[in-house]
Amino acid sequence: MSDPVLRLHSYWRSSAAYRVRIALNVKGLAYDCVPQHLARGEHRQAAYLGANPQGLVPALETGEGVIAQSLAIIEYLEEGWPEPPLLPKGAFARATVRAMAQGIACDIHPLNNLRVLQYLRGPLGLPEEAVQAWYGHWIAEGLRPLEALVARHSRDGRHCYGNEVTVADLCLVPQLYNARRFRCELAPYPRLVSIGEYLESLPEFVNAKPELQPDAE
What is the domain extent for residue 145? Answer: 91-204
The overall average pLDDT reported for the chain is 95
Q: Return phi, psi of residue 157, to 5°.
A: 70, 10
Q: What is the CATH number of the domain that holds 79?
A: 3.40.30.10
Q: List b or e across 136-168, with b for residues whose CB sees 16 or more CB atoms inside 10 angstroms.
A: bebbbebbeebbebbeebbeeebbbbbeebbbb
Based on the fold, state whether residues 96 and 57 are members of the same structural domain: no
Q: How confident is the model at residue 38 (pLDDT cuts 50, 70, 90)?
A: confident
Q: Are residues 104 and 191 in the same domain?
A: yes
With respect to residue 72, please indicate whether it lies within any of the assigned structural domains.
Answer: yes
Domain annotation covers residue 176: yes
The predicted model gives 8-35 an average pLDDT of 96
Asked whether residue 188 falls in the same domain as residue 164, the answer is yes
Q: In the chain, how many domains are there?
A: 2
**Same domain membership, residue 58 and residue 143:** no
Q: What is the mean pLDDT of residues 49-72?
A: 94
| In-domain check, residue 2 | no
Judge if 197 and 176 occupy the same domain. yes
Structure confidence by residue, pLDDT tens digits, 108-163:
999 998 889 999 999 999 999 999 999 999 999 999 999 999 999 999 999 999 99
- Is residue 209 situated within a structural domain? no
- Residue 1: which pLDDT band, with cuts at 50, 70 and 90? very low
Query: Which of 45, 65, 83 finishes a domain?
Result: 83
Residue 113, number of CB atoms within 10 A of its CB: 16
Q: Are residues 106 and 13 in the same domain?
A: no
